[in-house]
Amino acid sequence: MILGIDTSLGTSVAVVGSDGVVHAEVSRADPLGHAEVIGTLIETALANAADGTTGAGAPGPIEVTHVAVGMGPGPFTGLRVGIAAARAFALGRGLPVIAVPSHDAAALAVVLAAPFADAPRFAVVTDARRREFAFSVYDGLDDDALPIRVAGPSLTPRDHTDAALAALGAERRDTTAISAAMIGLAAGRAHAVGRVLSGPEPLYLRPPDVTLPTAPKRVGT
Amino acid sequence: MSDAAPLVLGIETSCDETGIGIVRGRTLLSNTIASSMDEHARYGGVVPEVAARAHLEALQPAIEAAVAEAGIRLDELDAVAVTSGPGLAGALMVGVGAAKGLSVSLGKPLYAVNHLVGHIAADLLTGDDVEYPTVALLVSGGHTSLLLVRDLVTDVEMLGETMDDAAGEAFDKIARILGLPYPGGPEIDRVAASGDRDAIRFPRGLSRASDMATRRYDFSFSGVKTAVARWVEQHEDEGVDIADVAASFREAVVDVLVTKALDACARHDVPRLLLGGGVIANRRLRDVALERAAAAGVAVRIPPLSLCTDNGAMIAALASELIRSGRPESTLDFGADSTLPVTEIQVGVGE
Ligand SMILES: [Zn+2]
């Protein structure tokens, strides 16, 4: 089973079978407070999966084989909490970590919500703070049943978002929550065919906010 | 769990050092530190976002290195410990996230603890018998605090702290004024070696009689910083002797630190002073403290520098003491608290 974690927007933790069945998913929408809730959510997701609470499986011990984690984009401070927790959880049990762009999970959710529709090209749009949005453009699923990302993730000023998406021919899908179950599902599909969806670096999209020092200010007399 | 000598892994990410320590009781098994100091050098100070990014990168390799050095397996741990605060919020949160992930993964208790009290606990790892009460002077780039420790796990009182910059920051800023690189502490120390520390009388912050009534144990370094900058400006035409300025500045800082620490010892009738924090690397500070303490009949303890700078071993050591004294684990819902008061030795303690 795959333990999925995402803290790119709210905090979401899920347990997903290698067959794609979701055994548990618990989430908090709060865009802050990731550090406070992450431990309890992991514990609860594992307990719910073991209890068979969702009805997706018989009660029984859960053997986690992989940890999947959303790499953003998202506000950095919260994003790192989930990645740090995922890596440490994996380290504790000697498990591999599968990194997933968080927008890929959102795109998978969009497509799976209407699996038989001929979905138009669309853009997952999430809050990037500082009057900017992060977006990624998708165009259907590939042969591995993973969303095809044709542009992004990139940042755009809020006021320019519609124009940017129109230029890319993409319908706008504002997203306020990333599902850890979709993180786990995307990870499982990628892992099954040996594909890597993301590198180990979070998708920061922005350099650290620093200014190089200038000469010391004069204090005068 | 072995309550007498619990095996604890500590995670410390409050500033720019990613510290992973492993202790068994009061025995140090590993003190692994990955520093992002070099990345901050070009900015002349610690940049919180740069530090937080570096913590995330360094954590997993640092845990693996610590476990290898200690010669243990993670599933043998009795507990995981982590700094909840005080410190840089974004940096602290990386450690908190990792500690929770590790604790739940292993099914082992988690102890969330206070960074400053951790500095005091570092002393236990020296292998010496440590006696309380003691006054503790903790000086680094992130904090300058004077504490009265009656009991490590139950009774730590903040006597005073800096009202503006930490002493380490003051060294960094003066180094910049003098055209010296970051970090400033070692540079000032190096340059000051050939200077006359009595050449210039720089102000001692919060040391006037009126301050003694209200801010007796607090520190302020903004005044001396401004005085140094002004002095350099006024004398730049005739050429500034950097060595004299550095030595005189250092003397002003050291004087006020040691004077207030020994005053606290005297007023609280505590003949023991513990020094901690990265600025303790400053040779002059150690020398003056030892010399004046000896004259005052105060015994000074200075742990090895690797235990004075921010590290995970001190966090593990504090948790180990909490376990030894029968404290229950922290609940899982604590967060990072950048201004955690020193009276909260352990965080996430159920009501
Ligand atoms: Zn410190």
Chain B, nearest residue to A206 by Cα:
B49
Spatial contact of A119 and A107, defined as CB atoms under 8 Å apart: no
pLDDT per residue, tens digit, chain B (351 aa), is 557 899 999 999 999 999 999 999 999 999 999 988 888 888 888 899 999 999 999 999 999 999 999 999 999 999 999 999 999 999 999 999 999 999 999 999 999 999 999 999 999 999 998 999 999 999 999 999 999 999 999 999 999 999 999 999 999 999 999 999 999 999 999 999 999 999 999 999 999 989 888 999 999 999 999 999 999 999 988 888 999 999 999 999 999 999 999 999 999 999 999 999 999 999 999 999 999 999 999 999 999 999 999 999 999 999 999 999 999 999 999 999 999 999 999 999 975
Q: Is the dihedral angle over the CA atoms B340, B342, B343, B344 positive or is it negative?
A: positive
Q: How many CB pairs under 8 A join A and B?
A: 137
Identify the CA nearest to B180 among candidates B248, B241, B138, B242: B242
Instruction: State pLDDT tens for residues A46-58.
Output: 999 999 877 667 7
Tell me the CA–centroid distance for residue B262 and ligand 1, in Å.
Answer: 21
Candidates B146, B299, B157; CA nearest to B219 is B146
Parallel, antiparallel, or unpaired for β A22-28 and A132-141?
unpaired
Q: Is residue A70 a contact partner of residue A183, using CB atoms and an 8 Å limit? A: yes
The Cα A216–Cα B42 span in angstroms is 14
The CA B90 to ligand 1 mean position distance, Å, reads: 16
Distance CA B336, CA B89 (A): 6
- Distance between CA atoms of residues B80 and B270, nearest Å: 33
What is the Cα–Cα distance from B2 to B81, expressed in whole angstroms? 16
Selection from A78, A57, A79 nearest residue A70 by Cα? A79
Does A66 reach chain B within 8 Å, measured CB to CB? no
Please list every residue in chain B whose beta carbon sits closer than 8 Å to the beta carbon of residue A210: 43, 47, 49-50
At position A94, the amino acid (one-letter code) is: G
* Pairing between β-strand A22-28 and β-strand A2-6 as defined by DSSP bridges: unpaired
| 3-state SS assignment for residue A16 | strand
The sign one gets for the Cα dihedral A101, A103, A106, A108 is: negative
Ligand 1 centre distance from Cα of residue A215 (Å): 28
Q: Do B97 and A82 touch (CB under 8 A)?
A: yes
Average pLDDT over residues A101-126: 92
Structural contact between residues B12 and B307, judged by C-beta atoms closer than 8 angstroms: no
Alpha carbon of residue B94 to chain centroid:
19
The DSSP bridge partners found for residue A156 are A133
Facing B100 at nearest CB: one of A38, A91, A204? A38
Contact B176 A213 (CB under 8 A): yes
The pLDDT value recorded for residue A221 is 55
Q: Token pair of A176, please?
A: 């306020």
pLDDT, residue B248, reads 97
Q: Which amino acid is at B124?
A: L
Q: Which residues pair with B257 in a beta bridge?
A: none
Using a CB-CB cut-off of 8 Å, the residues of chain A touching B53 are 76, 80, 202, 204, 208
Structure confidence at residue A210 (pLDDT): 77
Query: Ligand 1 center to residue B310 CA distance, Å?
Result: 5
Contact A3, A42 (CB under 8 A): yes
pTM over 0.80: yes
Q: Of B73, B77, B105, B182, which to mutate for an interface test with A (greatest number of A Cβ within 10 Å)?
A: B105
Query: Using a CB-CB distance cutoff of 8 angstroms, which residues of chain B are in contact with residue A35?
Result: 92-93, 96-97, 100, 335-336
Q: Is the Cβ pair A39, B332 closer than 8 Å? A: yes
CB B92 within 8 A of CB B85: yes
ipTM, 2 dp = 0.95
Radius of gyration of chain A (CA): 19
Query: Please, are residues A99 and A82 in contact by the beta-carbon 8 Å criterion?
Result: no
Instruction: Please list, residue by residue across B186-225, b when 16 or more beta carbons sit within 10 angstroms of its beta carbon and e when fewer do.
Output: bbbbebbeebebeebebbbbbbeeeeeeebbbbbbbebbb
- Report the pLDDT value the prediction gives residue B328, as an integer from 0 to 100: 97
Residue A86, chain B, CB below 8 Å: the answer is yes
- In the three-class reduction of DSSP (H, G, I as helix; E, B as strand; rest coil), residue B79 is classed as strand
Q: How far is CA A124 from CA A7, A147, B90, in A?
A: 16, 11, 26
Question: Which residues in A lie closer than 8 A to residue B96 (C-beta atoms)?
Answer: 35, 81
Contact list in A for residue B242 (CB cut-off 8 A) is none
**Interval A158-187 mean pLDDT:** 97
Is the pLDDT score of A204 beyond 60?
yes
CA separation for the pair B300, B305 (Å, rounded)? 15
Among chain B residues, CA nearest to A13: B101
> Which residues in A lie closer than 8 A to residue B335 (C-beta atoms)?
33, 35-36
C-alpha span between A48 and A88 (Å, rounded) = 21
DSSP B237: T
Strands B7-12 and A22-28: unpaired
Query: B232-268 as b/e, with b when 16 or more CB fall inside 10 Å?
Result: bbeeeeeebbbbbbbbbbbbbbbbbbbebbbbbbeee
Determine, for residues B49 and A76 on separate chains, whether the beta-carbon distance falls below 8 Å.
yes
Q: Determine how many CB atoms are found less than 10 A away from the CB of residue B118.
A: 29
Note whether A91 contacts B: Cβ–Cβ < 8 A: yes
H helix and E strand count, chain B: 12, 11
Q: Cβ contact (<8 Å) for A85 and B106?
A: no
Q: Which of A3, A130, A219, A221 is the best substitution to test chain B (most B C-beta atoms within 10 A)?
A: A219
Q: Determine the Cα–Cα distance for residues B347 and B96; give it in Å rounded to an integer.
A: 12
Residues in chain B closer than 8 A to A202 (CB atoms): 53, 56
B-contacting residues in A 175-194 (Cβ below 8 Å):
none
User: DSSP letters along B22-78, please?
Assistant: EEETTEEEEEEEEE-HHHHHTTTS--HHHHHHHHHHHHHHHHHHHHHHHT--GGG-S
Residue B329 CA to ligand 1 centre (angstroms): 23
Contact across the interface for B100 and A87, Cβ inside 8 Å: no
> For residues B313 and B181, what is the distance between their CA atoms, to the nearest angstrom?
29
Phi, psi angle pair for B149, to nearest 5°: -105, 105
Could you give the 3-state DSSP secondary structure of residue B105? helix
**Which pLDDT score is estimated for A75?**
95
Give the residue among A29, A172, A183 at the shortest CA–CA distance from A105.
A183
Chain B, nearest residue to A81 by Cα: B97
